[in-house]
Amino acid sequence: MTKQPRKLIQRRLMFSVIALSCAIGQQATAQSAESIVHGAEHYVLAAQNGEKWSMEDVEIQKKLAALKAKFGAPPNIIHIMVDDTAVGEVGIPAIQAVRGFSTPNLNELAAQGINFMRMYTEVACTQSRSAAMTGRMPTRNGMFNVGFPYEYGGLAKDEVTMGEVLSEAGYATAFFGKWHLGDIEESYATNQGFDEALWTPYNQVPSMYLPGPEIAGAITSTAFSPELFPDDPYDIDKGWRPKGTVWHLEGTKGGDVREFLPPTDVANWYEGMNQEEVRTMAFIEKNAAAKKPFYVSFWPSLTAFTPYPEKKTVSGGLLQEGFARLDPWVGNLTTRLEELGIAENTLVIFMADNGPMTHNGPPGMVETLYRGGKGDYLEGGVRVAAMARWPGVIEPGQTIGDIIHITDLFTTFARLAGALDNIPTDRIIDGVDQTSLFLNGNSHSRRDYVHIYTGEIYAASVKGRFKRHWVDEKPGLSGPSFYDLYNDTREIQGMMLPMFPTKGMFNTMRARHEIWMEKYPNVDEASGLPLTGIANARPETIAASKHRFTNEQVPFDVEAVMKRSKAFHEFETDWGTE
């Protein structure tokens, strides 16, 4: 065969693939006038599986239409997401039997539906929460740093959240719990599509910013409260400490934002946690009575970073103590859904945001099954406990081995709500529609790949059972950086020659990903002064919402300093090189 015919055939094949990809984007998701732009790898799968997916989607659409006719509304969606929980930590009673705690209600939730064994997230909390809210990997919108006071940044107003997508579809929307998506005003939950919210702009760490923990040594002496100690004559810049931080904010869409309780006593933190639960249940009951479809993100804070005063588990770990208090609420939730008559029209998803905080974390953070933890590109950092319940729709007793990613919830929720038209088409949406996996079960995922970033670094790729660590490789030299996750679940025995058949596949996968990223470039997170627009702001918070110095007082640009300082957040990892 001459070169010219070969090129012609290749070009025709390429255009056929593109045409099929476009057709897939407009398949029985036929609600969508324009195609959603997915990650490059999705089109590779669509080119090979599009006909099957189209046939599945026809049946799925019939089923969703029948459910809407039966209940008079699209399904309610309850998304529960906690921190730092490894695969197997909940949902598998046999593991809990030797771990010193139990979660009978969460285990029953898994038994009544799906227990996902390959739910992938991002490597840490801010990243995963952004991914869930926007359906986009955090590297695409700058949300790849873990936020602490003061962040001087957050989720940009131009990002489209699940709250916005479902609000436009007529859903009541609410957020209660750990938001952790920024401390600037445009990133507030009530400015990101939620009708009502009680949220934490940061994580649980500021719950330690109190005199007791500092005196006890949980916080380094004078790091937050120098007034508790004798005066240090060498401490001549006392104004840098984040004294204006807040724990919980509350508000409604278009209304005032207020601080819930001041960060002066850990009892206020616990009351905020209690209100997360109380308000979630009240929101569900209110909208069930109004017969209005609802979406609620209940992402409970779960614990403070100081121990509970009494122990409810033999483990005594911080995470396990949190579960001992959350688990009864989950039982109350499923019971209440039945009492309200909405259980069969309500999808409940429970999951974690990333793996356990095994690096310098509190007691109880353990790997359980996979090596690594929060911040790592290893499986233990990005594979989490996850389960779903939907009586009458999701078959009970399922254990699913398909790959699903946290971004997929964005597109799946939109499909279930009939809201695909509300997803933006001017940017990459990494989340793929996994409705078939939820409704048809095992082996029906539309994903066999994961791109794993740590910060802005492309650290690893997963394709089916195979994985490649990019960060360990030496330039120009292939090494034992390939893993078979079926036979090396803990990524201990990196291989070279036996895995070389996968090398070209991974190179091409990464090339597609990066070329597509060039066409749809990444954007930065928003930046600004923190904690503005709080109606009842304390004097310390008002001070924090202003620059410490003016450009007349110092010779450098204070705005530039603010924008750059938010780029220096790092979290410790072991980089998979143990």
With beta carbons less than 8 A apart as the criterion, state whether 131 and 407 touch: yes
Calculate the alpha carbon distances from 516 to 128, 177, 531 in Å.
Answer: 22, 35, 36
Is 248 catalytic? The answer is: no
Please choose, from the candidates 358, 364, 272, 356, the residue with its C-alpha nearest in 3D space to the C-alpha of residue 322: 364
Could you give the dihedral angle defined by the CA atoms of residues 431, 437, 442 and 446, in that order, rounded to the nearest 10 degrees?
Answer: -40
Out of 180, 248, 451, 469, which one is annotated catalytic? Answer: 180
**Cα angle 177, 179, 183; round to 5:** 130
Could you count the other beta carbons within 10 Å of the beta carbon of residue 471? 16
One DSSP character per residue, 366-389 reads --TTSS--TT-SSHHHHEEEEEEE
Is 22 catalytic? The answer is: no
CA 410 distance to own-chain centroid: 10
With both helix axes pointing from N to C terminus, report the angle between 318-340 and 104-111 in degrees, rounded to the nearest 10: 50
With beta carbons less than 8 A apart as the criterion, state whether 328 and 336 touch: no
Preceding peptide of 377 cis, ω within 30°: no
Tell the burial category of 370 from Cβ atoms under 10 Å away from its Cβ (0-12, 13-18, 19+). Answer: buried
Tokens of 575: 């980089």
Out of 125, 248, 405, 513, which one is annotated catalytic? Answer: 125
Tokens of 525: 């997170």
What lies within 8 Å, CB to CB, of 578 at 6+ separation is none
The residues carrying an active-site annotation are 125, 180
